[in-house]
Structure 1
């Protein structure tokens, strides 16, 4: 059984993510300090909360996080968790984790914010996380922001709601989804399974 950790930065509401991982036969701990991460095969940054408070919680572990990236420990960022991978966000004033060049911008004001609902995936490039996921599969979004990577090669799928919203990013052992796989039924469960398979290697 693979053992993974969910980093809790105080936003709560991570039960559904823990439950989804356990249904896919992972052993899951919720942690608040990345310095103890060596016992785990993978890390998940959950998707609830606001940018600056989440970054503040992670800042005490920022060096440990950079070490995880260097050591190629698989990391999955969900929604806000993915947004924190970037250099900055319009939601806050603090610097992001900066593992990807680019920024996070608010959705255009023609949208009701937060944007909530099911949208389909347009798969652009082969992806480990999307292995077995069909073009046009529906996933569940709850967000007000979207990422703008400088290197668009990391975007593996997007979703079109009048503008293209990067939905899945992937680079080596770093994975991110703008949507919530733990709330996306069988399709989301397939992605969780794919991530755990990477953690087992």
Structure 2
């Protein structure tokens, strides 16, 4: 079962429907005990970094999420959820993140259009199970004004070019971030979510399987 963190921020239904389409049991919850029992956890997010972190704090979800990651279980952050995996953000002041990946979140600079909205082509930095069957130039959908600057470049699995290099997929052990919206990225996004499911299943069984079966609509 995949648990989507429900903290009042993010489009839970579209994320849940994408996983349901792939044949996965999925539930949206703010219950820490449910999150800790899940096979995989998804942290979605839209809006401002500080507000989102405050919602996690008010709902007493920061410690359970950190505990889940410390236990080596797969955690996927999407869009703002990816940014929250990092140490700090400068969005509307200085804010502490979850500190699961070393680095910071900064605002994009330049005279080009900000926010970065629309489709952009992935460029794989290295091979990883998360980008299995993803080809160079496959496009995904972005909506963001801030981007991650990891302390260690090796966590970057794929990036995009938007007048500068923007990390698009980051992975550190079982902690994964996607700056774009896979649930809005058509067949490429579904492939990436399917890869995440296989990543969960491989971790549970010690080998690679196609997917987790079963359905539950949120």
Tell me whether the two structures share a fold, i.e. TM-score over 0.5. yes
Q: Which residue of 2 aligns with 1:174?
A: 175
Pairs within 5 Å for 1:23-38 = 23-38=21-36
Whether 1:91 aligns to 2:85 is no
Aligned CA distance change for structure 1 residues 12 and 69 (closer, same or farther; 3 Å): closer
Residue 132 of structure 1 corresponds to: 133
Deviation at 1:169, TM superposition (A): 0.3
CA deviation digits over 1:116-141, x for unaligned, max 9? 11000110111221111011111110
Which of 32-41 and 183-192 deviates more? Answer: 32-41
8 Å contact 2:2–2:27 — kept in the other structure? yes
8 Å Cα contact 1:7/1:34 also seen in 2: no
Question: Which moves more between the two structures, 64-73 or 33-42?
Answer: 33-42
Q: Deviations over 1:141-193 (max 9, x none)?
A: 01111000001100011101210000110122111111111111111100100
Deviations 1:40-74 (A, max 9, x none): 10000113122112111222222211211111110
Counterparts of 1:17 and 1:110, CA distance in 2? 33
- Range with bigger deviation, 9-18 or 116-125: 9-18
Query: Matches of 2:194 and 2:55 in 1, distance apart?
Result: 28
Matches within 5 A, 1:70-149: 70-92=70-92, 93-149=94-150
Name the CA distance, whole Å, in 2 between partners of 1:94 and 1:53: 10
Return 5+ residue gaps in structure 2 as ranges: 205-218
Provide the rounded CA distance (Å) in 2 between the counterparts of 1:53 and 1:47. Answer: 11
Contact kept? 1:35, 1:61, Cα under 8 Å: no
> Helix, strand or coil for the counterpart of 1:26?
coil
TM-score (norm 1): 0.94
Q: Any idea what SS the aligned residue of 2:91 has?
A: coil
Cα distance, 1:30 vs structure 2:
0.6
Moved more, 131-140 or 27-36: 27-36
Question: How far apart, CA to CA, are the structure 2 residues paired with 1:103 and 1:17?
Answer: 25
CA RMSD for the aligned pairs? Answer: 1.3
In 2, Cα distance between equivalents of 1:31 and 1:147:
27
Secondary structure of the structure 2 residue equivalent to 1:102:
strand
Q: Is the 8 A contact 1:7 1:45 kept in 2?
A: yes
On the 8 A contact 1:181/1:188 being kept in 2, the answer is yes
CA 157–97 in structure 1, closer or farther in 2 if over 3 Å, else same: same
Q: Name the count of aligned residue pairs.
A: 199
Shift of 1:114: 2.0
Range moving further from structure 2, 142-151 or 32-41: 32-41
Q: 2:31, 2:64 → 1: CA distance?
A: 9
